[in-house]
Chain A
Amino acid sequence: MNITEIMPFIVLIPLLAGPVCVLLPGRGLPWLLATISASAAFILAALTLGSVFEGETLRYAFGDWPPPIGIEYRVDAANAFVALLITGVAAILLPWAKPLVDEEIPERQGSFYALFLIALAGLLGITLTGDVFNVFVFLEISSLATYGLIAHGKDRRALLAAFRYLIMGTVGATFLLIGIAFIYILTGSLNMVDLAERLPALGDSRALQVGLGFIVVGLAIKLALFPLHHWLPNAYTYAPTLITTFLAATATKVALYVMLRFIFDVFGPQYSFTALPLAAVFMALAIAGMFAGSWMAIFQRNIKRMLAYSSVAQVGYMVLGVSLLSLAGLTAAFLHLFNHGLMKAALFASVGLIAYQAGSLRIDDLRGIGRQMPWTLTAFALAGVSLIGVPPTAGFISKWYLIGAAVEADQLWLVALILITSLMALIYIARIVEVAWLQPRPDDAPAVNEASWLLLLPVWILVAANFYFGLDTRLTVGAASAAAQALTGGALEGLLP
């Protein structure tokens, strides 16, 4: 068996394990199966990335139906990198989250883990497939599972958050479907490679432009690009801890990846950026998102919600990198996609421990909690340092490349904006540090114990990863530039006027 033949199992393992999970009784078995399948998918994803690192493309046709008629999986550095992030986060979080899930979802864990696995399989399917209709199908699979997962939150408001996300997610998916329908009518093909060959012949087609517009906007909703982010804060706030952490680290990243795949690979940057004013719109929305997200984060009273708004700002950084229309900018976007996954996973995981131990997420209730949960809050602070972008952390590397890309594009004012929003990140992180460490614990506040080391260990592994990838950038920067290279094929020069 070579790597091309086992690569589809990254998706198939969680997809097949999901239905089995529903049937398993009790609390231990479903969790065990989910953990094992996520870990297996992680190992396969790592192997796959290893074999496409140098620029190869793996293609696997399902049922031996040759593309463009059959569905094929097509893996290059770009999607292997994203798949590694998704499976890696899942493999670290699942073993960690068992006690938290036990507390938040005491019953019917089989279906919970089944939904989780299906959401995971959906995200991976979007990432790996080479067929645009398949993208839509997996997007719906992962979205439907995600709605269900969010609704599992203890707080009754989780139901409404899930409902709101359902409406917005459906609007997004429908837009995507409309866009795909447009290009299918025009070309009669659904395979990405095939489309990339056929679309240029259509030339100046209005229908094609509209199709691209629908696809971009539909995915921008899933990506939570400002101002289409309204679903995100509530969904992240009220979902169970495991789900918030997992989604924050992966879901928006997948949407960004697939949007880039459409723009750069299917339509081609030459067409996308001239047919629609994507560069200008992306830049404007990214900057607005960076500021609005950071701004809202400063004023939040719930720590999870604060981090959710911070995610809106961070998505802005990634899209900003894309809007620079250069290889450096795209590399920065991919790099931040990965690094942001790492930092948000660490931040949400430590917040999850706070919720588990202290039972509250209101920032007012966290006064003086640093002394009672020193390890958790230190992990939070260190991950926050990475979010702000202080060396030597992964966040620093992201900022380094993003600012480098902005300087290279001669857009110096962007540097100033990036720095200002980093300062805003400093404000909202330092605010938590201040509340937790420098304010005294109110006398009537309940006593809180530090989380057990079993819960702390994975959080600290994530924190350590933030520092590790701030020092050793061979994997992240190498993979990000390979990903950018793979998407564009180096065809970006001379695009900007």
Chain B
Amino acid sequence: MMAAWLHPALLLGLGALPLAVLQGRARQVWQLALPALVLLSVIGIESGTRVSLEMAGLELVPLRADGLSLVFAYIFALVLFIGNIFALKVDDGAQHVAAALYAAAALGAVFAGDLVTLYIFWEIMVVASVWLIWRRQNRTAYEAGFRYLIVHALGGMLLFAGVIAYYLTTGSLAFEPLQDGGMAFYLILIAFLINAAAPPLHAWLPDAYPEATVTGTVFLSAFTTKTAVYVLARGFPGTELLVWLGVGMTLYGVTYAFLVNDIRRLLAYHIISQVGYMVAGVGIGTQLAISGTAAHAFTHILYKALLLMGAGAVLQMTGRSKLTELGGLYRTMPVTFLLYMVGGLSISAFPLFSGFVSKTIIVEAAAVDGRGIIFLLMMLAGVGTFLSTTLKLPYFTFLGPDSGLRPPEAPLNMRVAMGIAALLCFAIGIMPGLLYAILPYAIDYNAYTASHLLKEMQLLLFTGLAFFLLVRFLGGKDKLSLDFDWFYRVAGKRLMLAVRDMISEANQDIRREFMRAFGRLEKAACELRLSGWPVRSWAIGSMALWTAVVLAILLVFGLGG
């Protein structure tokens, strides 16, 4: 049992600081001990715990633990542990500190019982996570990180404005389901959706995640979008808009995943797709759907971490991450290949693997709720997921046409990390009761009924068949797929420069016209007194001009009115 004042986020945040200075073996020990401690402290929190304090006249609730927040807290602590095993050999203190602070902020966000606390952790999350991208230390990563920072700063500010509006309209800061309508509702919703990477606000995710460091992507995939799922489930359950948005995300992610060539970008698009299921689950809003969302977030974090660790291991060992440049790696990286496949089978909801026991809850919830179209579209997205993550990516990376690469197997710590994640995926798949026991609402759901199995297997087997028939058309193409990020990458920059030029031109025109009358006098004075500084004297003239303009405006409008 932990003391009430020792918030897990505080423990982790303070514990992160020594990572900056520790070296060698000592750092590795602390890297493993710290997440373990945090995991213990999270497990020690009982459902219903609530700590509140009074600050600056506001009642803040830094710790509010209930079924929903605890599921997310467990998995966050768990994935931090696994991710740190994966990153054990990385000799870069900044990355470890950033990862730990990032996880601490994510924990703080899911435990936040009021909107101000949530906002504060929300911002810390952004500031900490961007270093996981920047520490890749190349130009592309820097620019992608900067765009990531800007998008999330914008989201944070929307959240901030929303929180203020909420406080002014309701007089309360408690983080409970929000009432429909009103500015606060939409501001906060949009801020959450930016973090959930819902199109068209998603472009930051496939833009930035593939550019992050090998180990950083694992953390990134776990925390930001899943925190967003949590806050949506907390604040917006049953919002109809989210159902359609979520289904749209599942299909959008799958479609774009099909078009890209970079393995980590492909997996990043699948994050959008999988988060789509969760968002749709939140939108359906029944107890079954919310539980399904939490369960799917739990399993998703595990198998997505596993997949990204697999892709990261390939990138680490070969230095390449494009489908067109890889192939035939199973010869020398069999363990990585097999573990990756566990993740692949999990994400495609293959029976006996974790995705099957969680995704089907959401699909079932849609069916129970009488939403036929939603149900069908979700099934369709499942096909696409299987096709690209489980068949196409491993085929062209590990099997398929031989690229001639013969990298050694991934280091032991990476294999151990992947092994643990794979083991958990498998364990949840065969013993779903373990997962169902910690869900926010007790559910009466059995994944292994004949109809579920039959339905899922039919889909997957036919998809598999189709893949092997059409495999030669499906290879990655070495090209760029343009997504919404074009707007802020290129159009934004052009707009900024154009506006700047326009303004300076207009300013100069006005000044020139006005000054022409005084030209001669001005020139004589310049040459006489300030020869050598003609440029500056113009500016003094324009300063005086503006003074006169402001006075004139005030008086003309004041006296005329």
Chain A interfacial positions (CB closer than 8 Å to B): 160, 164, 167-168, 171-172, 175, 206, 209-210, 213-214, 216-217, 220-221, 227-228, 230-231, 275-278, 280-281, 285, 292, 295, 299, 385, 388, 390-392, 399-400, 403-404, 407-408, 412, 415, 419, 422-423, 426-427, 430, 434, 438, 471-474, 477
Given A281-B553, A430-B149: A299 touches B500 (CB 8 Å cut-off): yes
Give CA–CA (A186, B555) in the complex, Å: 18
Give CA–CA (A181, B239) in the complex, Å: 64
* Shortest Cβ distance from A473 into B: residue: B56
Name the distance in Å between A20's Cβ and chain B's nearest Cβ: 36
8 contacts between A and B (CB under 8 A): A168-B540, A175-B551, A276-B558, A295-B503, A299-B500, A399-B160, A419-B160, A422-B157
* A168 proximity list for chain B (CB < 8 A): 540, 543-544, 547
* B550 proximity list for chain A (CB < 8 A): 217, 220, 227-228, 281, 285
Give CA–CA (A472, B54) in the complex, Å: 12
Cβ 8 A contact of A423, one of B120, B157, B536: B157
* B183 proximity list for chain A (CB < 8 A): 412
Give CA–CA (A404, B168) in the complex, Å: 8
- CB of B536 within 8 A of CB of A164, answer yes
CB-based closest 10 A-B pairs = A276-B558, A419-B157, A230-B543, A227-B546, A217-B551, A213-B554, A277-B557, A391-B120, A415-B161, A473-B56
- How many chain B residues touch the partner (CB < 8 A)? 46
Max chain A CB contacts within 10 Å: which of B123, B157, B533, B559?
B157
Give CA–CA (A469, B30) in the complex, Å: 34
Give CA–CA (A391, B544) in the complex, Å: 40
- CB of B160 within 8 A of CB of A403, answer yes
Name the distance in Å between A397's Cβ and chain B's nearest Cβ: 8
Name the distance in Å between B411's Cβ and chain A's nearest Cβ: 27
- Interface check B137, CB cutoff 8 A: yes
Name the distance in Å between B92's Cβ and chain A's nearest Cβ: 13
- Interface check B192, CB cutoff 8 A: no
Given A275-B558, A277-B557: A408 touches B543 (CB 8 Å cut-off): no
- CB of A217 within 8 A of CB of B547, answer yes
- CB of B551 within 8 A of CB of A213, answer yes
Q: Contact flags (1/0) for B41-58 with A, using CB distance below 8 Å?
A: 000000000000001100
- Interface check B454, CB cutoff 8 A: no
- Interface check B158, CB cutoff 8 A: yes
Give CA–CA (A399, B153) in the complex, Å: 14
Cβ 8 A contact of B555, one of A209, A295, A412: A209
- CB of A426 within 8 A of CB of B149, answer yes
* B154 proximity list for chain A (CB < 8 A): 419, 423
Given A403-B160, A419-B158: A230 touches B542 (CB 8 Å cut-off): yes
* A209 proximity list for chain B (CB < 8 A): 555, 558-559
Name the distance in Å between B106's Cβ and chain A's nearest Cβ: 17
Give CA–CA (A277, B546) in the complex, Å: 18
- CB of B161 within 8 A of CB of A277, answer no
* Shortest Cβ distance from A388 into B: residue: B153
* Shortest Cβ distance from B507 into A: residue: A227
* B56 proximity list for chain A (CB < 8 A): 471-474, 477
- CB of B150 within 8 A of CB of A277, answer no
Give CA–CA (A221, B551) in the complex, Å: 11
Cβ 8 A contact of B164, one of A172, A220, A407, A427: A407
* A275 proximity list for chain B (CB < 8 A): 558
Give CA–CA (A227, B146) in the complex, Å: 31
Give CA–CA (A285, B550) in the complex, Å: 9
- CB of A230 within 8 A of CB of B546, answer yes
- CB of B543 within 8 A of CB of A231, answer yes
Name the distance in Å between B540's Cβ and chain A's nearest Cβ: 6
Name the distance in Å between A287's Cβ and chain B's nearest Cβ: 14
- CB of B555 within 8 A of CB of A438, answer no
- CB of B554 within 8 A of CB of A407, answer no
Give CA–CA (A473, B58) in the complex, Å: 12
Other CB < 8 Å A-B pairs besides A214-B551, A227-B546, 19 of them?
Answer: A160-B533, A167-B543, A168-B540, A168-B543, A213-B554, A217-B550, A228-B543, A230-B542, A281-B550, A295-B503, A299-B500, A390-B123, A399-B160, A403-B160, A408-B168, A415-B161, A426-B149, A438-B142, A474-B56
Give CA–CA (A350, B317) in the complex, Å: 43
* A172 proximity list for chain B (CB < 8 A): 547
